[in-house]
Amino acid sequence: MLHHHLVSKHTRAVMALTLLGLAGLFLAQGGMVRGDVEEEHGLAVVWTSGDPDVAHRMALMYTHAAKTQGWFDEVTLIVWGPSQRLLAADKDIQEKVDEMAGDGVIVEACIVCAESYGLVEKIEELGFEVKGMGAPLSDHIKGDTHVITF
């Protein structure tokens, strides 16, 4: 074991530069790595707006790109509140969300809202899971998932 007082200034400088180089290499390779597997990053998009422009021009466009462009490993679209009425009524949005699901976006809808709008069967017929979302959203928030809301 090396004792601090036995190590020359030159040796300490070389050790410091080596550590700085390793830190730079670590950051250049994208940060934390567990073994040979990079840490996964998730995104949960809480889509609440009933505005079709918000749906087409932001919420769905970004969510889909986040998955297809590989910006996040796992992408979840949570359909909550007024967005459920829009999804149930708008064929273009239905097609877009179906395409997103086909590309790997996980689509889930809040059952409490769907029940209040009378849309549980309609959303399930579209092929999307309707369930309690309070606990799953809380898990996203408490975990390593980034959460954004539109």
Q: Which pLDDT tens digit goes with each residue over 57-89?
A: 999 999 999 999 999 999 999 999 999 999 999
Identify which has the larger pLDDT, 132 or 16.
Answer: 132
Query: Residue 104: which of 73, 136, 145 has the closest Cα?
Result: 73
- What is the mean predicted confidence (pLDDT) over 26-35? 44
Question: Residue 12: is its pLDDT beyond 80?
Answer: no
- DSSP class of residue 132 equals -
Residues in the chain: 150
Q: Where are the domains of the chain?
A: 4-34, 40-149
Record the pTM: 0.74
Please give the CATH number for the structural domain made up of 40-149. Answer: 3.40.1260.10
Q: Would you state the pLDDT for residue 38?
A: 54
Report residue 40's pLDDT band, with 50, 70 and 90 as the boundaries. Answer: confident
Q: Which pairing describes strands 33-34 and 145-149: parallel, antiparallel, or unpaired?
A: unpaired
Token pair, residue 63, equals 């969510």
Report residue 119's pLDDT band, with 50, 70 and 90 as the boundaries. Answer: very high
